[in-house]
Amino acid sequence: QVPIIGLVMNDRGFISRVLCPKFGGYLTFGSLEKGKESAPSQPTAADLINVYNIRQIGPDTKVFGIIGNPVGHSKSPILHNEAFRSVGLNAVYVPFLVDDLAKFLSTYSSPDFAGFSCTIPHKEAAVRCCDEVDPIARDIGAVNTIIRKPDGKLVGYNTDYVGAISAIEDGIRGFYMPLYIEPLYYC
C-alpha cells in the first residue's frame, strides 16, 4: 500500500526506469537534456515520453526488446516503439544488456515479456535456448528473433538471411541490368 520508486543504476538498470509504471512504480527520473543526467544511464524526459511512450505503459503493457552486449547504441527501440504506437499496440520495446542468454530467458520468463530481437553475441546461443527453432534458423545456426508463445515456449527464427539474400539479388540485378545508351542524333 506504500508508493514505491524502484530504480536500478547503470546500463543494466535502464529498463527499470522505463518499465517502472508496468510494475507499480509511481514515478521515474529523466534528465532534462542529454549530458545533464543525475545518475548513470538515466534517459532524458523527452526519450521517456517520445521514444518509450512512458505515459501509456501500465500493468497490461507487453514488453519486447533487443538482447545483446553491447546494446545501448541500438536504434531498434526508436523503430519498434514508433511502430507499436502507430498501430495502437499496448507494448514497449527496450534494450536488454545481457551477458548470459539462458539465465536472462529463465529470469524474464513471464508472458509479459513477449518477444525479443537477438543480436551479437547471442545469436548462436539462442538456437540452444529456444524450445522450438524454425528449420531455416537451425540450418543457419543462428536465431535473431525469439517469440514467446501463449504456453510460454520460446520459438526462434532467423530473418537476417532474407535481408542478405535480397541485397545479393538487388546487387546481381543492378550488375547485370542492361546498360542503355541513348542514341545520338545529328541534324
Return the domain boundaries, the chain: 1-58, 60-176
CATH superfamily of 60-176: Leucine Dehydrogenase, chain A, domain 1 (3.40.50.10860)
- What does the alpha-carbon distance between residue 113 and residue 84 come to, in Å, rounded to a whole number? 15
Q: In 131-159, which positions are buried (b, 16+ CB within 10 angstroms) versus exposed (e)?
A: eebbeebeebebbbbbebeeeeebbbbbe
Q: In this structure, which amino acid lies at residue 130?
A: C
Q: How many CA atoms lie within 13 A of 104 on its CB side?
A: 23
Residue with cell 526506469: 17
The catalytic residue positions are 123
Residue 81 backbone phi and psi in degrees, to 5: -65, -35
**Per-residue model confidence as pLDDT tens for the chain (187 residues):** 777 788 888 889 999 999 999 998 888 989 999 999 888 889 999 999 999 999 999 999 999 999 999 999 999 999 999 999 999 999 999 999 999 999 999 999 999 999 999 999 999 999 999 999 999 999 999 999 999 999 999 999 999 988 888 878 877 877 554 544 455 444 3
Angle at 21 between CA 145 and CA 79, to 5 degrees: 35
How much is the pTM? 0.87
